[in-house]
Amino acid sequence: MAYHSRTNDTRGHNENVMANKEVSEWKDRTSRGKEIFVTNTVKKIHPVVDKIVCRLLDVDRIQYVRVSQADLYASSEITIKGRTKTPVSTPGHKSAIGVHLILDYPYNTIQFYEITSAKRGYGGKMVKAVLSSIPEGWQALVAMDYSDGFWDRMIEKYDNISII
Amino acid sequence: MDKDEIDVINYLDWHAEVNDNNIKPFSIEVLKKAFPEIDEFSLKAIESEWRKARMRMINADFSTFEE
């Protein structure tokens, strides 16, 4: 019994090491001098997340990305709380350019939870980066649109975004 | 965020009422009925975070977002 449990522990440990290695290799391949934080709970990078992160990092001001099991943050700035570094996406922030997406894999949807753009034009660039990364059958959602026309214009430009 | 939290956020988004740019208070009893598996303390914390985030989006200035 003790032997089996030790064997299983070792296998679990090895799987974790492999998963960590895979995520770490992905970070090295993708970051291009920018910073990507991935929470320990993420063992594999979803292809849609991979594409969104690559495109968001193409936006020149975006310096930091954080990927957790159900969220993706990207921003020009970070806040540090304890050991957690979170890219800033608080709407109305004076200097940050950032976005917080909720990834809802079972429903193939990505929700724009928060977005901010202290510099003209970057809101549209981030939306373009996300929407051009979503495969067929996936859609982006915006809840409670009070943007006074911004999301309406995005809906006209892209066919894979809806407002709920 | 975990799966439970996203489910609660989706539920709140679908059921929230907004009047004059204010989100109408949401009954915790209704949330408890919808998510009996989640404790009241967690539900209140998720609702509070969701409300803050949504209010920030409601009050956000989108005029500079495009070229």
Give me the DSSP letters along A56-116. HHHSTT--EEEE-SSEEEEES-EEEETTEEEE---TT-SS-EEEEEEEEGGGTEEEEEEEE
pLDDT digits (tens, 9 = 90+) for A105-136: 989 999 999 999 999 999 999 999 999 999 99
ipTM (interface predicted TM): 0.89
Q: What residue type is assigned to position A88 of the chain?
A: V
| A4/chain B closest Cα distance in angstroms | 32
Q: Do A102 and B6 touch (CB under 8 A)?
A: yes
Beta-bridged to residue B2, according to DSSP, are none
CB contact at 8 A, A72 and A53:
yes
CB contact at 8 A, A34 and A62:
yes
Dihedral of alpha carbons B22, B27, B30, B31, sign: positive
CB contact at 8 A, A92 and A115:
no
Which pLDDT does position A2 carry in this prediction?
A: 46
A122 touches chain B (CB under 8 A): yes
pLDDT digits (tens, 9 = 90+) for A23-76: 999 999 999 999 999 999 999 999 999 999 999 999 999 999 999 999 999 999
A109 touches chain B (CB under 8 A): no
What phi, psi does A20 have (nearest 5°)? -60, -40
B30 touches chain A (CB under 8 A): no
Separation CA A94–CA B1 (nearest Å): 25
B55 touches chain A (CB under 8 A): no
B4 touches chain A (CB under 8 A): no
Average pLDDT rounded to a whole number, residues B37-60? 94
Residues of chain B with C-beta less than 8 angstroms from the C-beta of A144: 13, 16, 18, 54, 57-58
| A10/chain B closest Cα distance in angstroms | 27
Instruction: List all residues of chain A from 41 to 70 with a beta carbon under 8 Å from chain B.
Output: 68-70
A117 touches chain B (CB under 8 A): yes
Which pLDDT does position A1 carry in this prediction?
A: 46
Q: Do strands A64-67 and A35-38 pair parallel, antiparallel, or not at all (unpaired)? A: parallel
